[in-house]
Structures are given as C-alpha cells and as structure tokens.
Amino acid sequence: MKNTINEIRQKFLQFFQKKGHTILPSSSLIPKNDSTLLFTNAGMNQFKDFFLDPKKKKYSRVVTSQRCLRTGGKHNDLENVGYTERHHTFFEMLGNFSFNDYFKKEAIIYAWELLTSKKWFNINKNKLWISVYKDDEETYKIWLNIIKLSPDHIIKIGDKNNCKYNSENFWQMGETGPCGPCTEIFYNYDIKKNNNFSQFLENKNENFIEIWNIVFIEYNRISSTKIIPLKYKSIDTGMGLERIASVLQNVNSNYKIDIFKKLIKQISCFSKITNLNNISLKIISDHIRSCIFLIYENISPSNEHRGYILRRIIRRMLIHAYKIGIKKNFFYKIVPNLIEHITEDFNFLKGTEQTIKEILQIEETQFSETLEKGLRILNIEIQKAPNQEISGKTIFYLYDTFGFPSDLALDICREKKIKVDLNSYYLEKEKQKKQSKIGNKFYNNGNNIININDTCNFEGYKKNTIKSLIKYIYIETKLVSLISEGEKGIIFLDKTCFYPESGGQIGDIGELYFKKSRFIVENTKKYGNTIGHIGKVITGAFEVNNFLYAKIDKLYRNQIQINHSATHLLHSALRKVLGDIVTQKGSSITNTRLRFDFSYPNIINLSKLQKVENIINAEIYKNHLIKIQYCSLEEAKKQKAMALFENKYDSIVRVVSIKNFSIELCGGTHTNRTGNIGLFKIIAQSSVSSGIKRIEALTQSKALQFLHNQENEIENISKILKTKSISFKDKINKLILQIKYLEDQIHIFQTKENQYQIKKIISNIENIKGVKLLINVFNNYNYNSLKLIIDQLKKDFQNIIIIFINKNNNYFNIITGITKNLTNYLTALEIIKIFIKHTNGKGGGKNEIAESISSNVINLSKILKIIKSWIHLKLNNIKDKIHE
C-alpha cells in the first residue's frame, strides 16, 4: 500500500528536517510537571515552557509526531468516537514548531508546499479550503496574495456568543497556558459541490475534514478572564496523522486507513458483525489503542484520576464488545491479536504485552460480574413491568448501584419492546448528583460506625421470604425514622432471610417491600449481632415499627449455595489427595466462583489437581443429600468435623455433612444435594503467601463455559497449526526442528555476509599515528554479527579502533571496540560517552567494548566529526610508539 501511516509520518518529519527543524521524539502521554493537564492533548504540550519563557527554549525549530489522548478537560473526544469517521481517544499528531523564529508567512508556505507539492503529499489544490480568525487580516492576506488562493476558498471565523477569543480559530491548550489565533486547512472530499463550506461549519456537511491547524502563539491565558501577550511569537501546528492518512489513502474515514482496517477486521472475526462500518467495531479499535498506551505509561484502572479514565475506556470497550456478541471471556482472546498489530508499529511497546493482557483481563472479569448482576435485576423488573413500561428510576438505580451502563439497559429494553420513562431517569440523575459525595463515604465506612445493641433472627436457612418488623433505619450514619423514595440507606429488621456476608460467603441481594413501597437490597452485612440490609428505596417509603416483606433473590442465593457446598467438597478432597497438612485459611464464595486458601508448602502438580477434581465430581454424581444438624462442640469434634479452630464457636454448633466424605462446622447456606453442583472445575492455583496456596474453581454452567472456552482455544490453535489437537505435539516438534534448521541456515548466510562486509569496509580504515580507525554506518544489520565482526577485526589488526553505527527503524545502535593495547590512551567507553552526550542516548560498557542506543540521532556526521577530532587529539598527545 502506498502512503501507509508509517510512510506519512516519516515524510512529514523529513520535510521539516529539510527546512532546518530538529526531529524530536514524542513525549509521554502523561505530561511532565504540568498539573493543568491530565493527558498530553497536543504536540505543543512538551514545549509549553519554550513558548512562555524565552530563556528556557533549547531549539528554534522542531518537528515531532506526538502521541495524544483526548478524553477529558478542554479537548475531549471520547463521546464522539465511533459515531464520526474522524475522532479518536488516542491518536498521533504531526507538528512543526517555531520558537521566536519564523512566523505566519513561513508556516503557511511550508504547510502549503508539503500538502500540494508533487514531491510530497501532492494534494489537488482545489480540494483545500481555509479558515482564518476574523481579526487576523495578515493571515488572510498571506493566503490570498502569497499562496494565491481564490477568496471563495477562505472563510473568516468569528467569536461565539460575542465572547472574545471564544472561537474555533483561536486555539487554547487548556484553561490556562499558551494560546493564539489559528488558521485551519480543510480537505473537501466532494469536489463537485464547492460552495458548501459554510454548511460544513454549521455541521451540515461531512465532506469537509479539518486536516491541519496552524496556531500563531502570541498570548498566555492566565485565567478564564485574563490573557496577556507573550514576549515573542511562536508557531504551533497540528495535523492528525490518522486524518491525513485517510486523505492520502483516499478512504474518507480514519477507520478505513491501514492500521484500523487490520484491527477492525480482527475484531469482527470474533463478533457476529459482518458490516465493517459498525460503530462498536470502531469504538473497540480506537479504545484498545488508548488502553495499550495508557497501560504502557503505567496507568492501571482505578476509580480516580487517570486510572478512572482508563477504567471508563476499558468498560466502554467491553460494553461494545458485549453489544456485538463478544461476551465475557471471549473478549480477552481478541486482545493479544490486537496488541500484536499495534506493537508492529510501535516497537517500544514490545515486552509490555503480558501486563496489558493481564490488566485487561482482570478488568473484564470484574466488570462482567457487574453486568451479570445488573442484567439479573433488569430482567426481574422487565418481567414485572406493568403495561410493558418500566421506570427510568430503575435504569438509573442499576447504573448508580452496580455501575450497569444505562445505554446498555436502554438497548435491552428497546430490544424487548419495553418502554422506559426517561423523565424519571433524568430527574433521578439530578437528585443523585447532589447526594453522591456523602453517599460514597457512607458506603465505605458504614459498618464500622453504626453500632446497634440488638439482635436479628436469621431465618434464611429455610425461608426465602419473610414478614418482618423494621427496627432501625440508617441514612449515612444517622439513625432516622423514615426512608423515602430515592434515598440510600440500611434497614435493620427483627428477623430476616437475608444471609449477611460472613465465613467467606457473600451477602444476599433481593428486595424489601410493602404494598407499593420497594427497597432494593444490594448487599447484606453483619453489624455486631444484627443484620443490615443495604440498598435504596425505589418507590414509596419505609418507616420504623412498620412491617414489610423481605425476599431474597433466590437464583443468586442458589448459585452461592452451590459454590459453598462445592468448597466443602474441595476442602475434603484436598486433604484426601495432599494429606492432613491441608487446613483452611480462608475462602471467598460468590454466585459466580469460589476461592479456597489453605496451608500447603509445595506446588501442587496437575495430576494431583485432576485427582482432586475427579474425587469431587464423583461425589457430585453420587448426588448425596447435604445434611445440616446442630450438636455440641464436643460432639462435633468427636465426629472429626473440620473447622477453623482459630474461630470461637458457641457451645452448640451447626454441622454440615456430606455423607462421610465431608463434615464441617459452618454457618453458611448450602444446596440440598451434591448433584446440584453439576460439574466442578479448578481454574487456577496460586500462592497467597509463603506456605499458603489458593485454588479458584467454577461449578455448574460456569465450569462448562470455561471448558468450552478451552475447547475454542484448542480449535483456534489447531486452525493456526493446521492440524488436529491430537497431533499438536508432533507438529510443534516438527516446527521446532524447522526453526532450528532455518536458524542454522541463517547462521551460515550471516557468517558469509559478515566476511563480505569485512572485506568491503576495511578499505575505509584510516591511519592515525600508526593506529587504525574504522568507522562504518550499517542499516538494520544483525547486531550480534557486528560484535563478531569487531572481534575478528581486533584479531586481524591488533591495533585498531572500530566504531559501528547501526541504523534501525526508530533508533540507532552504536558499538565501539578497541584493541587492548590502546586502552591506556583511550577507551571504548569514553567514545560511547561522547555519543551519549550528543544523542541523549543510553548505554555503557568496558574499556575494550562499549555500546549505546538512541532514538534521537540528528546530525550524525557532525557527531562523528567530533569523535574523530577527539581521537586525533588523544592519539597526537601520545609521545611513545604504540606497541602492537
């Protein structure tokens, strides 16, 4: 393909290098020492000080391709991504900069030459249109008189709302910082309809796209009302690399250019979508790039600051994956392929792939639990919906409580032909805005602060619904007598069927209701000896001393019970296979999985884990009754019941037994028969701390789903290897042999090539006072071979200084070798240090051999001259004869 994104980037940099600009690397996505910006949002960010303070400027002309992220603050494109053909969260911005050097005229002439000259981008002049700031007569005249553009291709743009400098043609970095009027260059895809540029400016014509913004930095905004002129004038330009690529590749959409085409195709293969124009495909392809670059910058998903933005991007990407049928664990399968494509263009990302995969996978697992919880509640609401309509409050509640995305909820309602009263949604949202801050604090600390000296009878072993009396209500940490519609709080009852989070088992969810009043319970916890139902009033109100019905989410509870009983089986099976050394150290049991921590010093090998699984599944097939009985602690000990004996037990204990296979003291809830567990599968083993192992496992359909995923993975591998799984081993062994053979071949060719190179370059050897100096520049040469060549030359010549430069795509390796007899006078490390100083590179080494790497070698010939003079100086100072 012509004009690939890599070629365009290169051409841009070269063009401005020819015009006397220094090529500098992109700065990090996290702005250094600049608290006004969350992320680098423009090429000029890294030069902010050069614009503001003449003393700080290190260059006069610079050119870069800058990695940018526009997801917050003054420049936020997140919501547009996918819905337009041009917006991205992450993108590269090409820019040339002048600091008190050239100004308007040259900046415009350069831009025009690059865009229209046959030698460079060769764009038809008639397709280009210009906007200028209304008061900037000088720029207008440059376009008209110097570039000789027809006046109907230039439009003046004024201020919005009569507010000075509030204009599309006045660029500002953020709330404060360098700024100035700008002129923008637009490309018109629709050459026939020439006169609709003003329609475009009113958002009515999509054929025009802005490709280049040339900003005349003349001011510094120091507050929202104050702008001061700068001491000198500068140029800041920005051209979105993906946009100009869409023009030069003539595809009229950033999402059709080379890099995105690859990504979108890959994603679509995993989805049920065949139309590559699909919005979700675009969003995923955009967002995955942002995720990769943010994780590369050491940002991890969290609930605040940059981590929050990353989390939002990941979640948005997952929602869209969900929308196009890539659900749950399937999604992580796409990621490695996408990472591979992206790292092809950005070499420096290599080595981060594993971290990126792991972080995305953890986020995915967490968020899919949220999605599942939300979907369950939404489905219940939909089933109950009178007249096929549900309240917007429910949709908001799902978002507010579980983070369940409202647009997804609305989509589901639309699909099921359920109407949603959006008015109540927006009203609720407004109300919540006011309450939110206090609410969050309350949920974090509530159960430490609330202190109730009372008890609550737990009757949930047998009952799913119960009539109870409201004894206390807390809003935040305040005791109240009434809780009304829209309020979050904790309700305490005289008795309940809700199991409070304890013994590793999570708290129940469900609802409290009476007549038309409903309170959704999103968690249940112990508060001293009583039990708090945490949630929110959806309709009506609840008052202390009134009755209500408490009803758990039965399906949710069933799944927890199944996982709890499976945990008991696991405990016993582990002791049977690994011995009595296994004692329980902790557990976590939810509706989706179980986790068991236990003491065991060694790694448990696969065959032992499989033995554990076999034993457990055999007990499942026997479909034992799970028996609960109460007895004295003494009696339980006699029965050899297992327990966490560090815990304090009452004199009467609850014993859960599964035939003679497992007998445990336990307060948790269990399924009736082992057969309900269906299937048990261990999915991970890890070490929690020294001597403590952790096993994670799945049951029922989740276990089956896990096996299906494995099966799909095997199928994918067999497609890649083009063989059935039974022959994997043979095929891989064959491939390894082939690789070995090819490596040997390469070695033979490389050795020949090295000999050829040696013959070729020795003619360049110079003689300085009896010492030989060989400098040679290679292109993409095998690095190890360079070292071998140096070794051989040192042997052949014994009195030699060798300097090899190896130019790679984005960086330079410099390697220097010196024969030992010379190291009394000068060393390889000294030479490398000169390189490092002049290239901002990294490196090191010893007296006889040293190396460095740099991504920023400008004026190589100048640096080589410096090195040569230094060597001359060193050698000329030598008085004695150098001994070979």
Spatial CB neighbours of 570, under 8 Å, sequence gap ≥ 6: 594, 596, 612, 616, 680, 695, 697
Closest approach of ligand SER to the CB of residue 169, in Å: 11
Q: Residue 94 CB, nearest distance to ligand SER (Å)?
A: 9
Beta carbons within 10 angstroms of residue 717's beta carbon: 14
95 binds ligand SER (CB under 6 A): yes
Q: Among 40, 46, 188, 213, which residue sits at the site for ligand SER (rule: CB under 6 A)?
A: 213
Smallest separation (angstroms) from ligand SER to the CB of 346: 21
**Residue 873 CB contacts under 8 Å (≥ 6 apart), including other chains:** none
| Binding flag, residue 128, ligand SER (CB under 6 A) | no
Q: Would you say 236 or 428 has its CB closer to ligand SER?
A: 236
Please count the residues of this chain forming the interface with ligand SER, following the rule CB under 6 A: 10
Round the CA-based radius of gyration of the chain to a whole number and report it.
35
Minimum distance of ligand SER from residue 203's CB (angstroms): 19
The nearest distance, CB 293 to ligand SER, in angstroms, is 18
Report the DSSP beta bridge partners of residue 599: 692
Closest to 551 (Cα-Cα) out of 537, 531, 533, 530: 533
456 is in an annotated binding site: no
Is residue 178 a contact residue for ligand SER (CB under 6 A)? Answer: no
Under rule CB under 6 A, residue 553 binds ligand SER: no
Dihedral sign from CA coordinates of 568, 569, 571, 572: positive
Site for ligand SER in 3-62 (CB under 6 A): 42-44
Q: 842-877 b/e with 16+ CB inside 10 Å = b?
A: ebebeebbbbbbbbebeebeebbeebeeebeebbee
Alpha-helical (H) ranges within 827-859 are 828-839
Geometric angle at alpha carbon 751, from 750 and 752, rounded to 5°: 90
Nearer to ligand SER, 184 or 400 (CB): 184
Name the residue nearer to ligand SER (CB basis): 51 or 425: 51
Contacts of ligand SER in 215-234 (CB under 6 A) = 215
C-alpha distances in Å from residue 688, one per residue of 504, 586, 695, 696: 16, 11, 10, 12
3-state secondary structure of 91: strand
Pairing label, strands 154-157, 128-133: parallel
236 binds ligand SER (CB under 6 A): yes
108 binds ligand SER (CB under 6 A): no
Nearer to ligand SER by C-beta: 32 or 467? 32
Could you tell me which residues are beta bridge partners of residue 23?
A: 63
User: Can you tell me the distance from the alpha carbon of 248 to that of 258, in angstroms, rounded to the nearest whole number?
Assistant: 11
Residue-by-residue DSSP string for 422-488:
HHHHHHHHHHHHHHHHHHHHHHHHHHHH-------EE-TTT-SEEEEEEEEEEETTEEESEEETT-E
Does 171 bind ligand SER (CB under 6 A)? Our answer is yes
Tokens for 664, please give them: 């445990």
Alpha carbon 319 to its chain centroid, in Å, reads 14
Min. distance of Cβ 171 from ligand SER in angstroms?
5
| CA dist., res. 823 & res. 847, Å (int) | 6
Q: If we measure between CA atoms, which residue out of 780, 858, 772 comes closest to residue 818?
A: 772
Tokens (6 digits) for 458: 């737990």
Residue 486 burial (CB count, 10 A):
18
**Could you give the CA distance from residue 653 to residue 642 in angstroms, rounded to a whole number?**
12
Q: How far is the CB of 591 from ligand SER (least distance, A)?
A: 48
Short-list 296, 397, 377, CA closest to 343:
296
Q: Closest CB to ligand SER among 42 and 398?
A: 42
In the complex, the smallest distance separating the C-beta of residue 238 from ligand SER, rounded to whole angstroms, is 2
Q: Which two tokens stand for residue 165?
A: 């400098």
User: Does 238 contact ligand SER by CB under 6 A?
Assistant: yes
CB of 858 to ligand SER, least distance (A): 22
Nearer to ligand SER, 213 or 806 (CB): 213
Q: Which is nearer to ligand SER, 72 or 843 (CB)?
A: 72
Q: Which stretch binds ligand SER (CB under 6 A): 8-16, 142-150, 236-244, 743-751?
A: 236-244
- Strand pairing category for 584-589 and 547-552: unpaired
519-to-338, 382, 397, 444 alpha-carbon distances in Å: 44, 17, 11, 20
**Rounded-to-integer distance, Cα 625 and Cα 642, Å:** 18
CB of 733 to ligand SER, least distance (A): 54
Question: Do 15 and 114 form a contact (C-beta atoms < 8 A)?
Answer: yes
Task: Give the dihedral sign, CA 595/599/604/609.
Answer: negative
Considering beta carbons, is residue 111 or 775 the nearer one to ligand SER? 111
Site stretch for ligand SER (CB under 6 A), options 235-243, 408-416, 544-552, 592-600: 235-243
- Using the minimum distance from each CB to ligand SER, give the nearer residue, 177 or 817: 177
Q: Which residue, 213 or 676, has its beta carbon nearer to ligand SER?
A: 213
Q: Is 267 in the site for ligand SER (CB under 6 A)?
A: no
Find where tokens 């460079």 sit.
120
Closer residue to ligand SER, CB minimum distance, 234 or 496: 234
Shortest spacing between CB 149 and ligand SER, in angstroms: 21
- Residue 172 vs 246, nearer CB to ligand SER: 172
Residue 572 neighbours by CB distance under 10 Å: 21
Q: Does 174 bind ligand SER (CB under 6 A)?
A: no
Beta bridge partners of 817: 802, 849
How far apart CA 834 and CA 841 sit, in angstroms, is: 10
Quote the CA–CA distance of 339 and 391 in Å, as a whole number: 42
Q: Beta strands 482-484 and 488-493: pairing type? A: unpaired
Minimum separation from the CB atom of position 224 to ligand SER (A): 19
Smallest distance, ligand SER to C-beta of residue 12, A: 13
| Position 237 contacts ligand SER (CB under 6 A) | yes
Q: Any binding-site annotation on 564? A: yes
* Minimum distance, C-beta of residue 43 to ligand SER, in the bound complex (Å): 5
CA–CA distances in Å: residue 249 to residues 121, 185, 271, 497 = 11, 18, 27, 65
Residue with Cβ nearer ligand SER (213 or 819): 213
Residue 45 or 816: the one with the smaller Cβ distance to ligand SER is 45
Cβ-based nearer residue to ligand SER, 234 or 839: 234
What single letter denotes the amino acid at residue 198?
Answer: S
Q: State the nearest-atom distance from the C-beta of 46 to ligand SER, in Å.
A: 12
Binding site, annotated residues for Zn(2+): 564, 568, 666, 670
Binding site for ligand SER (CB under 6 A): 42-44, 95, 171, 213, 215, 236-238
